[in-house]
Structure formats: structure tokens, C-alpha cells
């Protein structure tokens, strides 16, 4: 039986939101789900690809590269974007990681960068962050929740 890593990612976000962190810290803490630490070694963790603590599938087709690492990819990209901003993170994912925006990984990177931007700007509250992930990224949301605005 495959693990629904997208649902597990959303559950992790829900648990983090309950802790009451400042938004930037919340995004960095999310990176820990990808094995990207908070301390000065975060850059080495991110550059090495982190650790796949949420192994499994469950992502919608447009962001599914058919590997068990999409939750790690999303959480790690969020943590990097929280530290260095969206434009530089997008450049790194496109040029260094070779994930152009037309690929599932490129689209997932864009979603992670947008997620970080929305949380940092206050447009997306931490309390609503898990729902955002479920609606936009999780395959199960397309079948079960009947949510509006999610992509199939």
C-alpha cells in the first residue's frame, strides 16, 4: 500500500500551524519535513536534496513526477524560498536543478514558491495553509472533498 505523502504533507502543515510560529519560522519549519534544517547548514541540506521523510505519492497529475519525493521537493523549495525569495529560488530550480516550469517538478516548484509568498505576505494564513495544499496539490482532494478552485 502506497503512502499518501501529499496528505501527510498537509497534515504536517496543519500541525505546524497549531504551534503559533511567526510566518517565516513556519515556512522554515516546514522545510524540516524535507530534511532542510533551520541552522546555518540549511544551505548544504537544500543543495544535497534534503532527506525524504514523507516518502510516497498522492499528488495531482500536473505536479506528479511519478516518484516518491514530491512532498520533500515541495517542503524543501518552500524553505529555500522563505530564505532567499521566490525569483532566486525559481532560477535555482530551473538552471541548477534543471526543472523547467513546463515539467511536473517545475510546476511543483512554482506552487511551493507561491505558497511561501502567500504565507509571507499574509494572504494565506497558517490556519488555511494545509487546505491550500490539499486543494491545489493533493490527488485525493480532487476525488473526495468537492473543493472549488483546485486543479485536476
Q: Could you tell me if residue 146 is inside a domain? A: no
- pLDDT at residue 34 above 80? no
Neighbour count for residue 40 (Cβ, 10 Å): 7
Most confident range (mean pLDDT) of 2-11, 24-33, 128-137 is 128-137
Q: Could you tell me if residue 32 is inside a domain? A: yes
Question: Domain range spanning residue 29?
Answer: 5-137
For 83-138, the pLDDT digits (tens) are 999 999 999 888 877 888 899 999 999 999 999 999 999 999 999 999 999 999 99
Q: Could you tell me if residue 151 is inside a domain? A: no
143 — pLDDT class (breaks 50, 70, 90) = very low
Map residue 64 onto helix, strand or coil.
Answer: coil
pLDDT of residue 38: 76
Write the Ramachandran bin of 85: left for phi over 0, alpha for psi from -120 to 50, otherwise beta: left
Q: Could you tell me if residue 148 is inside a domain? A: no
Q: Could you tell me if residue 143 is inside a domain? A: no
Q: Could you tell me if residue 88 is inside a domain? A: yes
Residues 6+ apart with CB under 8 A from 40: none
Amino acid at each position: 500500500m502506497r503512502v499518501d505523502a501529499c496528505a501527510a504533507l498537509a497534515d504536517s502543515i496543519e500541525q505546524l500551524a497549531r504551534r503559533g510560529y511567526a510566518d517565516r519560522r513556519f515556512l522554515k519549519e516546514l522545510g524540516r519535513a524535507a530534511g532542510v534544517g533551520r541552522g546555518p547548514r540549511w544551505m548544504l541540506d537544500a543543495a544535497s536534496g534534503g532527506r525524504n521523510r514523507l516518502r510516497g505519492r498522492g499528488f495531482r497529475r500536473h505536479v506528479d513526477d511519478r516518484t516518491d519525493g514530491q512532498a520533500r521537493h515541495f517542503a524543501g523549495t518552500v524553505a529555500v524560498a522563505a530564505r532567499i525569495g521566490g525569483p532566486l529560488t525559481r532560477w535555482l530550480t530551473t538552471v541548477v536543478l534543471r526543472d523547467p516550469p513546463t515539467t511536473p517538478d517545475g510546476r511543483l516548484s512554482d506552487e511551493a514558491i507561491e505558497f511561501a509568498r502567500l504565507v509571507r505576505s499574509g494572504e494565506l494564513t497558517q490556519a488555511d495553509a494545509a487546505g491550500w495544499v490539499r486543494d491545489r496539490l493533493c490527488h485525493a482532494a480532487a476525488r473526495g472533498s468537492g473543493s472549488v478552485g483546485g486543479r485536476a
